[in-house]
Amino acid sequence: MLPGTTVEWYSGHTLYDRPRQVLWVGQWLAVINVLERGYLPDGAFVKILASDHCIYLLRYSLDQDVWDVDAAV
């Protein structure tokens, strides 16, 4: 997990409407597709397919106002 990772978002009608790209291990990856999204007791999550053809889980902590990124298996 990379805590405090930078995620670039398109904000339409709502904040954090659609992720555009994510910084993963020093490399910007474009978001190809949003596979799943949902809410957690302390934030939200988005599962994405990135330009490197890997799936990542982005988790937002409302308390810390930070995104964490995990490579999904």
Split at pLDDT 50, 70, 90, the class of 38 is very high
Averaged pLDDT score across all residues of the chain: 84
Per residue in 8-35, is it b (16+ CB within 10 Å) or e — as a string? ebeeeeeebeebebbebeeeebebeeee
The pTM of this model reads: 0.80
pLDDT at residue 12 above 80? no
